Amino acid sequence: MDLYYMPGSAPCRAVQMTAAAVGADLNLKFLNLMAGEHMKPEFTKINPQHVIPTLVDGDFALWESRAVCVYLIEKFGKEELFPKCPKARAVVNQRLYFDMGTLYQKFSDYYYPQLFAKAPADPEKFKAMETAMGLFNTFLEGSKYAAGDSLTVADISLVATVSSYDAAGFDLTKYPNVNKWYQLCKSTVPGYDINQAGVDEFKKFFN
């Protein structure tokens, strides 16, 4: 399986950690977005949305990191990461959608205009980011992991996002449940060393 990626990308790191968790062997294909490689015809033919990560498994191509993570889990039969119980799976899905639509989105809204368009910091967007992290802190009240007492794909996706907040210098100590969970994930999420290497790359944007 080929994975088109950039190491600093949180969604790409989530897929790489999931692959490590399920034992999937990925053929990594670096795609330099800064150089516009994602707009080349050979890539847009694979993925007309021209985003990363993009997974190619034979004649099948898939993008959107959380969909890719779930695909890998189901393909390799690691259902403990995406439980079959409807209620348990619903909570995992809720956390994944929260990550995509709120936690990661608010991070992107605040930091990416500054990093890539040289825009000034927007205090209102920073407040929205704090609110999002506060919600995650509430979700973790009395819970070991993001969706209960067991590690799931929700943790893998969320820790890629939260580690990006950390890389940007966002103060996680204000959110004790998040900080405790984050430290736990560093030692329990398979392939976290891959994530850390990507985080180290991502930090360079803030130097």
User: Does residue 116 share a domain with residue 73?
Assistant: no
The answer to whether residues 65 and 106 belong to one domain is no
Task: Verify that 105 and 68 share a domain, yes or no.
Answer: no
Torsion angle (degrees, nearest 10) of CA 183, 185, 190, 196: -50
68 with 131, same domain: the answer is no
Residue ranges of the chain whose pLDDT lies below 50: none
Q: Name the domain boundary from 31, 57, 77.
A: 77
Look at residue 100 in the predicted model and tell me its pLDDT: 98
Domain extent, residue 159, equals 80-206
Residue pLDDT, tens place only, 150-160:
999 999 999 99
Q: What is the CATH number of the domain that holds 176?
A: 1.20.1050.10
Residue after which a domain boundary falls, among 77, 108, 142: 77
Q: For residue 34, what pLDDT is reported?
A: 87
Give SS3 for 202: helix
What is the model's pLDDT at position 206? Answer: 87
Q: Where would I find the H helices in the chain?
A: 10-22, 41-44, 65-75, 86-98, 104-117, 123-139, 153-167, 176-188, 192-203
Q: For the chain, how many structural domains are there in total? A: 2
Amino acid sitting at position 137: N
Q: Are 96 and 155 in contact (CB under 8 A)?
A: no
Please list the active-site residues.
9
Q: Are 73 and 122 within one domain? A: no
Using the 3D structure, point to which of 77, 103, 129 is the last residue of a domain.
77
Per-residue model confidence (pLDDT) at position 109:
97
pLDDT value of residue 205: 86
